Amino acid sequence: MILLLTASYIITPAIVLWLCRKIKILNKIGPVLLLYLIGIILGNSGLVSESAFKVQDLIVTLIIPLAIPMMLFSCNFLQWNIKNAVLTLITGIIAVVIAIFAGYFIFKPLIGSDPAIGGNIDKIAGMLAGVYTGGTPNLAAIKLMLGIPNETYIMVHSYDMAISLIYLTFVLSIGIKLFRKILHYEPSKKSTKSDHMPIEPEGDEPYKDFFKKENFFPVLGAAALSLLIFGVAGGLSMILPKDLQMVVVILAITSLGIGASFIRRVREIRKSYDAGMYLVYIFSMVVASMADLGRLNLAGGLYILLYIVFVIFGSLILQLIMARILKIDADTVLISSVSLINSPPFVPLIATAMNNRSVIITGLTVGLVGYAIGNYLGYLISIIL
């Protein structure tokens, strides 16, 4: 039974990704949300016995520390549009941090002291900082660092996906025209693919040709290097108290992953990012299957939903004001905002909608740097609060 369950965790994401390519409506829903739904149904169906918890907990604990370095390997921190990227990254992070702190003090009294949610609002703030400067891997990493209950994690991530989808719809419908009216905008010439691009967007089929020899064996090398980094980080953590060990592991693998990205042969492993993302898909299904729907606090969850809405759209307004003062162009601000809020894979989509491919490099780099700093920032904010 345990072997069958483990196999289902590994194979199901591949089936979901294939279905998303074939069925448009599933593609719009997205693989992460679908895997959450499948995991929740599986975990609350009675098919998974209590004896499986140790295996589930082991997968959840190990898989994100392996995924983070593999996703960081492909980032080229040396070659990017420094002025625009740094300005938008700094303004974006400042806007997110201000919105998180303001929202914390606004919504904490409303949420109350319920230990299931109110007692975790500082940790929830840390998760929001991680996910809105990085992405799902940071959200998952901070969950592990801070020991956040599975039910709280599922609730926050589910609300995040829903509101992020609304934000993306806003950008694609009226956001582009609105930003170009408010901020400086000059029609830009379309650029061709650049060697400076941190990762190469591959459309809707990032796993195409994944098992070809020229792709698969380098990914195995990336996985081995990620495992080595995990081992080194784990060794470092053993000299510290137990309650700090996971924190040290996550921050160490983030730092070592960034360091490895400066090695050209490591950085040029094409499918490393996609392999790391597949591990995140597995994590999504496993952690969802561990959540007990009966323990979800829907009343308190309403204010968490409002907190997330406040952070996303509040930070957007703040970034817009700062960009206006600093005279950053509209397309750079928008592509960077989408990269931070929705994650780097959405950058090519927005660049296409804007008919401006020249901002892809900046958008991807801002998002990938966000992946790199999200764990540090999320943990720091949680501790401060």
Residue ranges of domains in the chain = 60-186+208-272+295-384
Q: Does the structure show a pLDDT above 60 at 215?
A: yes
Q: pLDDT class for 200, splitting at 50, 70, 90?
A: very low
Is residue 295 over pLDDT 70?
Answer: no
Enter the pTM of the model. Answer: 0.66
Q: Which comes out higher in pLDDT, residue 31 or 231? A: 231
Indicate the pLDDT class of residue 14, thresholds 50, 70 and 90: very high
pLDDT above 50: residue 197? no
* pLDDT higher than threshold 80 for residue 80: no
CA distances from 160 to 33, 153, 282 (A): 11, 10, 19
pLDDT at 68 over 90: no
The token pair that represents 296 in the structure block: 């979800």
Q: How confident is the model at residue 380 (pLDDT cuts 50, 70, 90)?
A: very high
The residue-averaged pLDDT of 156-178 equals: 81
- Selection from 74-83, 137-146, 182-191, 364-373 with the highest mean pLDDT: 137-146
Q: Is pLDDT larger for residue 247 or for residue 304?
A: 304
pLDDT tens for 328-360 read 888 888 888 888 887 766 676 677 677 776 676
**pLDDT bracket for residue 321 (50, 70, 90):** very high
pLDDT value for 299 = 55
Share of the chain above pLDDT 90, in %: 15
Q: At what angle do helices 330-342 and 82-111 cross, to 10 degrees?
A: 50
pLDDT score recorded for residue 375: 84
The reported pLDDT for the residue numbered 221 is 92
* pLDDT on residue 281: 85
Q: For the chain, where are the alpha helices, taking DSSP H only?
A: 2-22, 24-29, 31-43, 53-72, 82-111, 121-131, 136-146, 150-170, 176-182, 213-237, 242-260, 264-267, 272-289, 298-326, 330-342, 347-354, 360-384
